[in-house]
Structure 1
Amino acid sequence: MKFNNTLITSAILSSLLISTGVSAIDETESLRQRSQDKHSFTSLSIDLSGKSGNSDKEDFSFGIYHSERRDQHFGFVMASRDYAKSNDVKSEDSSFLHARYNYYFSKTEAFEVFAQSNTDDFKSLESRNLVGVAYRKEFSEKTTAGLGIFQEQEEYNVNGQKVEFDQTRLSLYWVTTLPLANGAELSNTLYYQPDVTKFSDFRAYNRLAIKSKLTESLSLKFGLLVEHDSQPVLDVEKTDIKYQAGFSYEF
């Protein structure tokens, strides 16, 4: 499969982004629904917010996604970065990089190979790297499910000490999109990732999003992400809830 230079450029840019430290709402599935039938697709998103006066706060999020489709072959790369500071104290600094290749052996079924890397300074996650495979079933243009398995390696910095984990997890995902009036759409993406040796150790992610078109390429978007880790490494809350609003540009 030959991807053009744009995909290579996007991968390089993604690597630069993650080296500076990133995170963001993981919306790879909702993006790929809109992109997988197009030969080439790129999406850029940015979220900015701030406050000054009695308290000073600033939030920044940036994301880039690029995909290529050639007959039965489909691939994409996505990177994102989140940074937040309140009263000169950093409250978030995380990163996300994901690459995936799909081979469609039927019109609605595909074999997937994927790799991911992310960091989260606020959770003392120095690095999380994983590789995996999955089976993907597309029930319709707007509803998809997948079942896979991946091997991950994590490194945490706990009180100045390096703590490492090597785990194998299942990955189940389900995504659906509901068209609304005037070009808007409501989407929901759910991930469930249990440890294969201990199902009580699991991670779950659910993202609900609304996207409304302002022009053919520019959209206003709102997102609500709920993340749950049944066994966090640090003494932190098991569930995080995050909301965002911003713009995305697709071409």
Structure 2
Amino acid sequence: MGFLKQGGWVVLGVLLHASGAAAQIVNVQALFDEKAEPGPAAAIELGGDWRTGSTELFSIRGSLVGQLRSDRGVWLGVIRGEYSFASGERIVSQVLEHVRYRRQFTDMVSGEVFTQHEYNEFRRLQLRALLGAGPRFILLNEERLGFTFGVALMMEYERLRKDGEPDAGDRYMDPRVSSYLLARVKLMENINLVETVYFQPRVTRPSDLRVLNETIFAVTPNPRVTVGIGFNLTYDSAPPATVPPLDTQLRTTVGVKF
């Protein structure tokens, strides 16, 4: 859920249920606390699932999001990790780090630079590294409705793990265009919807396309507690061998503000 708070310092999220696989595109835009005051802020999300009997499963995940805001700029840092075991075998193993800086030029226009590292064993990614930059435009900024559009040119480097698949150990370095549209809707006084769509075509072959659609409902029953439901759908037109092109994920989190 990222920053579920509207002020304060720390949020603790507890994962209630999750299904599906993790996506390659990470929606960091939804992690910014746009209403935060200048200064540092942080959020922690922890989750787990432990089952015995007919289903043997142990899963743990966590993320740390830090934000440092000034009058004209904001830094965002994200660290995520997830490990899962089923019937004694590891079924999920992934780590991601992302750092982004946003600089405000006018009330409607800003610029962003970012870098990212990712390891995902079960998408067969030994290494994925990104470096990119581009503009960001606020199309509408009303109390109950907001639209933001961003586009960046990024360089992507991928190295697949060495295993028995035909593309084992392959390396790729390609430029991609990463564009996104983010909508924030205040449905009721304590219910918000955040919808984000990413498109990432490869510059040298636009048919090599990655898409992410993320929908987040956040309900705030009181100023210190937020309950969120998020659904992700990710499509990769050219995934590594044996990796399915479509991923989905459903998550429910509880945020407690301190």
Closer, same or farther: CA 216–30 of 1 in aligned 2, 3 Å: same
Partner of 1:233: 240
Sequence identity (%): 20
Structure 1 residues 202 and 57: CA distance shift in structure 2, 3 A: same
Return the match for 1:146 from 146, 150, 175. Answer: 150
Counterpart in the other structure of 2:161 = 157
> What residue is the counterpart of 1:173 in the other structure?
180
Structure 1 alignment gaps of length 5 or more: 1-21
Name the amino acid aligned to 2:87.
N
Contact conserved, 1:24 with 1:95, CA < 8 A, in 2?
no
Residue 133 of structure 1 deviates from its aligned partner by 0.5
Q: Deviations over 1:111-163 (max 9, x none)?
A: 11110111101111011011010110012343211011000111111426422
Gaps in structure 2 of 5+ consecutive residues: 1-21
With over 3 angstroms needed to count, the CA separation of the structure-2 counterparts of 1:143 and 1:36, relative to structure 1, is farther
Residues paired across the two proteins, number: 230
Structure 1 residue 226: Cα displacement: 0.9
Which moved further from structure 2: 231-240 or 178-187?
A: 178-187
SS at 2:240 equivalent: coil
Partner of 1:114: 114
Q: Is the 8 A contact 2:73 2:104 kept in 1?
A: yes
Distance (whole Å) between structure 1 residues aligned to residue 253 and residue 201 of structure 2:
32
Tell me the equivalent position of 1:130. 130
Q: How far apart are the structure 2 equivalents of 1:228 and 1:104?
A: 32
Name the structure 2 match of 1:14. none
Q: What is the deviation of 1:35?
A: 4.9
Question: Which secondary structure does the structure 1 equivalent of 2:30 belong to?
Answer: helix
1:49 aligns with 2:49: yes
Residues 242 and 134 of structure 1: is their aligned pair in 2 closer, same or farther, counting only changes over 3 Å?
A: same
Q: Which 4+ runs in 1 deviate beyond 6 A?
A: 22-25
Deviation at 1:179, TM superposition (A): 1.7
Tell me if the contact between 1:93 and 1:120 (Cα under 8 Å) persists in the aligned partners. yes
Moved more, 165-174 or 208-217: 208-217
Q: Which residue of 1 aligns with 2:203?
A: 196
- In structure 1, the residue matched to 2:69 is 69
For the structure 1 residues 41 and 23, does the alpha-carbon distance in structure 2 shift closer, same or farther, using more than 3 Å as the test?
farther
Shift of 1:56: 1.2
The alignment's C-alpha RMSD in Å is 2.2
Contact 1:189 1:208 in 2 (8 A): yes
| Whole-angstrom CA distance in 2 between matches of 1:137 and 1:81 | 31
Please give the secondary structure, in 2, of the residue aligned with 1:139: strand
Q: Distance in 2 between matches of 1:163 and 1:46?
A: 34
Deviation at 1:76, TM superposition (A): 0.9
Q: For residue 18 of structure 1, what is the aligned residue in structure 2? A: none
**What SS does the aligned partner of 1:30 have?**
helix
Residue 99 (structure 1) aligns with? 99
Which of 163, 183, 186 is equivalent to 2:190?
183
Kindly indicate whether the alpha-carbon contact (under 8 Å) linking 2:140 and 2:147 is maintained by their aligned counterparts in 1: yes
Alpha-carbon distance in structure 2 between the residues aligned to 1:238 and 1:109: 34
